[in-house]
Chain A
Amino acid sequence: MDGIVQLQRQLVDYTASLFHEGFLDDQFNQLQQLQDESNPDFVVEVVTLFFEDAERLLNELTKTLGQPSIDFKRLDAHVHQLKGSSSSIGAQRIHRVCISFRNSCEEQNVEGCLKNLQQVKQEYSLVKSKLETLFRMEQQILAAGG
């Protein structure tokens, strides 16, 4: 019993820290609310979907920026997609970076775009690892019977 309580407390603290550091925002709470008996793995499903989507988009972005003549419109479209996805799950920091990325695209600022891309990739990997840790902790609790 004690172990579960401890684990749960750890989970709560961890989640709180994620919010505190700005990785996640209220939208993530909304997602968690939507999870119920009819939809027990809703959050995991959505987040997994996000990971797949984000990785695809990041590859596209890298490819487009690697072209000699950069198609900014296409770049913008992708970033727009990524922005939408990240805001849907509440990945706040990625969302913010996407906004500045879009500005760079509008300005057709290659340097800026490259920098933004770097930032996005960084943020994405951070959030991915954090969320994976979160899910692992939940799994542990479930396994322990809590």
Chain B
Amino acid sequence: MESCNCIDPQVPADDLLMKYQYISDFFIALAYFSIPLELIYFVKKSAVFPYRWVLVQFGAFIVLCGATHLINLWTFRIHSRTVAVVMTTAKVLTAVVSCATALMLVHIIPDLLSVKTRELFLKNKAAELDREMGLIRTQEETGRHVRMLTHEIRSTLDRHTILKTTLVELGRTLALEECALWMPTRTGLELQLSYTLRQQNPVGYTVPIHLPVINQVFSSNRAVKISPNCPVARLRPYAGKYMPGAVVAVRVPLLHLSNFQIYDWPEVSTRSYALMVLMLPSDSARQWHVHELELVEVVADQVAVALSHAAILEESMRARDQLMEQNVALDLARREAETAIRARNDFLAVMNHEMRTPMHAVIALSSLLQETDLTAEQRLMVETILKSSNLLATLINDVLDLSRLEDGSLQLEATTFNLHSLFREVLNLIKPVASVKKLSLTSHIASDLPMYAIGDEKRLMQTILNVVGNAVKFSKEGCISISAFVAKPESFRDARIPDFLPVLSDNHFYLRVQVKDSGSGINPQDIPKIFTKFAQNQSLTTRNPAGSGLGLAICRRFVNLMEGHIWVESEGIGKGCTVTFIVKLGIPDRSNEFKLPFVPKVPGNHGSTNFAGLKVLVTDDNGVSRTVTKGLLMHLGCDVTTASSSEECLRVVSLEHEVVFMDVCAGLDGYELAIRIHEKFTKHQDRPLIVALTGNTKKVTKENCMRVGMDGLILKPVSVDKMRGVLSELLERRVLFETV
């Protein structure tokens, strides 16, 4: 659009007004055309504008207005019809558009306004979220700090390290100026400054524990803000210019092992606390935030747990050290005891032998001496010697037995023996002694007492002898009665034997033996003591220098080993006493009875020959050998028949002969002979044993002998001893093949 700045010179007076109107209209048109351009430009630039068509409308409106104004320029002067028409058109259009726009804007402007409000709202929201984000981040960081702190604290079990680490980490996390820990003193009446963050060696400040501020802190488990001026917070000279930093204190529970009962959490009342004081930097105008306080509380709790763990560990390590020491001491003691026992056993073993040897010599020689010619005086002396040495020997045996019994190393034997003959023997042994003392001896063996029993015969005899011997020893006159019978179950429930619980079974029975004497008796109060070894009965009337005090103790041990019980009853001094014991013996079953000691004893190799009358046949074609062998066998007591050839042998051999000795040097003759002998006696059970005597040391000889059914092979030369051994083995085993 051209703009014409030409001023019409025709109308000078209203020309000025015209001029101004002209210029204004021009600028209006200019503006009206540039506004849409600007709008279009900026809308294009912005990405978001929802109402584009409104813009179009608005643009059209403005353009038309502008056009109108522009066309106005031509209407100042006389203008043609065309211009008027154009002007009118433009105006009409403008009117339409502007009305439309006006109508439209009624709807649109509220919308646009609400957009604005929403924008404001969103901005507020964003600000709020930002704030919350900030908070969360701080919390998360706090959490992280706590975890790290906890990790640091819990990574050690050393008390000091725990506390020091706590202070350091807290200081770092919260950027503290100072952090201090006050621990209760031993007396519990004061708090002592134990650890600080900045100061290397805290001087021993103490504060009394019952300050109000401290009580306040101890009474709650929260971190409490305290005044910077209170004694616990005044740690070092105040260096800031304006204000000291805010101070917070929290309690740290200290738990001891004694606080932990099993299944029981420590009670609050038994706790003692330490005080942790934290100071923010001075002059920083920082305040304690809630999350920081929470952090401090959590840390304090963690420290408490870590400290308690450390305490428990310390305690358990101490206990373990103690146990180890005890173990070492016990081990040493055990080894010492073992050494002592071994030394004692060695001593006993040696003394046993050493003591017994001379004893045997004395006893043997004394008894020999007794049998020589002696004067009466000498005889008396020898008898005394003999008696004393017998006693001594008994004593030695007793001591040895007792020590073995105590050891538990004594084991009873279990053999089958004749019970009745045992009692007979005891009686036989005691009768002479009793008759010398003019005591009458009666015995009563129950008829239902088994003939045979399984047990330790020797020790049972020892026990009975001891008991009966005591009865005889301590009786000056009167009678002794011995009774033995099978104990019935009813008698077990006896008040006198409270601890005795017999077990009844099919292959055991309980033997009850009672020995009554009418001698000096025992004071009932002394009864428990008589089974104690070496305790002598001190009663004047019964003092017997011959007793050693061991006998009854040993008896009791034996009886106990036999799962029985022994006890003494006496009504008092001078009223005699009764000794009763019950022992468990086995019942031999039927088959055992035949294995009883009626087995004939097998003679030893060097005993007297029991080849007496043994009929043997010697076959040898060599006269010299034959004679030698015959002489050998005759020396051993055999009844020897000789044959000088196989035919003669076959003629002579009979069932009477137990053994046939034949020389097999002469080739196959001997083997042939063996076969023929076999044939002769095939129908008979006990044919003679065929034994080859040969100097032939070939292996094949042995095989040949076995092949033809020989019972033995002996190599020449044969000595007397060898022949003896060979014969006994042959007779026992019915076969003997000497290794070639």
Contacts and interface: CB of A to CB of B under 8 A. Distances in A.
Interface of A: 26-27, 30-31, 33-34, 36, 38-39, 42, 45-46, 49-50, 53, 80-81, 84-85, 87-89
A34 B720 CA distance: 8
Nearest to B665: A84
A85 B624 contact: yes
B624 A88 contact: yes
19 contacts: A26-B717, A26-B719, A30-B628, A30-B632, A30-B718, A31-B628, A34-B634, A42-B631, A46-B631, A49-B623, A53-B623, A53-B624, A80-B666, A84-B624, A84-B695, A85-B623, A87-B695, A87-B717, A89-B628
B443 interface: no
Contact of B625 (A30, A45, A88): A88
A128 to B, nearest CB: 14
Interface in B635-655: 635
Contacts of A85: 622-625
Which residue, of B621, B622, B665, has the highest number of chain A Cβ atoms within 10 A?
B622
Nearest to B620: A84
Given A30-B720, A36-B635, 4 more contacts: A30-B628, A33-B635, A45-B627, A84-B665
A46 B627 contact: yes
B624 A49 contact: yes
Q: State the majority secondary structure of interface residues on A.
A: helix
A137 to B, nearest CB: 22
B123 interface: no
Contacts of A88: 622, 624-625, 627-628, 716
Interface in B716-738: 716-720
Contact of B635 (A27, A34, A49, A84): A34
Given A80-B665, A87-B695, A88-B622, A33 B627 contact: no
A8 to B, nearest CB: 24
Interface string B659-675: 00001011000000000
Contacts of A30: 628, 632, 717-720
Contacts of A38: 634
B625 A39 contact: no
Which residue, of B631, B634, B716, B719, has the highest number of chain A Cβ atoms within 10 A?
B631
Nearest to B637: A38
Interface in B699-723: 716-720
A50 B624 contact: yes
Top 9 closest A-B pairs, CB basis? A85-B624, A88-B625, A34-B631, A84-B622, A88-B624, A88-B628, A34-B635, A50-B624, A46-B627
A46 B628 contact: yes
Contacts of B666: 80
Nearest to A54: B624
Contacts of B628: 30-31, 34, 46, 88-89
Given A33-B720, A84-B695, A88-B628, A39 B635 contact: yes
A46 B626 CA distance: 10
B634 A39 contact: yes
Q: How large is the interface on B (under 10, 10 to 19, 20 to 34, 35 or more residues)?
A: 20 to 34
Contacts of A26: 717, 719
B100 to A, nearest CB: 160
Contact of A87 (B621, B627, B716, B720): B716
B632 A27 contact: no
A53 B624 CA distance: 8
Contact of A84 (B625, B631, B718, B720): B625
Contact of B631 (A27, A39, A81, A87): A39
A81 B666 CA distance: 9
Interface in B4-56: none
A26 to B, nearest CB: 7
A90 B254 CA distance: 107
A30 B724 CA distance: 13
A88 B717 CA distance: 8
Given A49-B624, A85-B623, A87-B695, A31 B716 contact: no
Nearest to A42: B631
A94 to B, nearest CB: 11
Contacts of B627: 45-46, 49, 88
B628 to A, nearest CB: 5
Contacts of B635: 33-34, 36, 39
A31 B623 CA distance: 15
Contact of A81 (B622, B632, B718, B720): B622
Contact of A46 (B621, B624, B665): B624
A88 B623 CA distance: 10
A53 B628 CA distance: 14
Nearest to B635: A34
A27 B720 contact: no
Contacts of B632: 30, 34
Contacts of A42: 631
Which residue, of B625, B663, B666, B718, has the highest number of chain A Cβ atoms within 10 A?
B625
Nearest to A38: B634
Interface string B610-634: 0000000000011111011001101
Nearest to B627: A46
Contacts of B623: 49, 53, 85
Nearest to B695: A87
A122 B549 CA distance: 84
A34 B717 CA distance: 14
A89 B717 CA distance: 10
B721 to A, nearest CB: 9
B368 to A, nearest CB: 30
Nearest to A56: B623
A133 B546 CA distance: 71
A28 to B, nearest CB: 11
Contacts of B622: 53, 81, 84-85, 88
Contacts of A45: 627
B627 to A, nearest CB: 5
A42 B628 CA distance: 9
Contacts of A34: 628, 631-632, 634-635, 720
Contacts of A49: 623-624, 627
Contacts of B663: 84
A13 to B, nearest CB: 25
B645 to A, nearest CB: 13
A26 B720 CA distance: 12
Nearest to B717: A27
Which residue, of A27, A46, A81, A88, has the highest number of chain B Cβ atoms within 10 A?
A88
Contacts of B720: 30, 33-34
Which residue, of B624, B625, B634, B695, has the highest number of chain A Cβ atoms within 10 A?
B624
Contacts of A89: 624, 628
B251 to A, nearest CB: 109
A35 B624 CA distance: 15
B652 to A, nearest CB: 20
A49 B626 CA distance: 11
B631 A31 contact: yes
A42 B717 CA distance: 18
Which residue, of B621, B628, B719, has the highest number of chain A Cβ atoms within 10 A?
B628
B724 to A, nearest CB: 12
A85 B625 CA distance: 6
B558 to A, nearest CB: 51
A27 B632 CA distance: 12
Interface in B303-335: none
A127 to B, nearest CB: 13
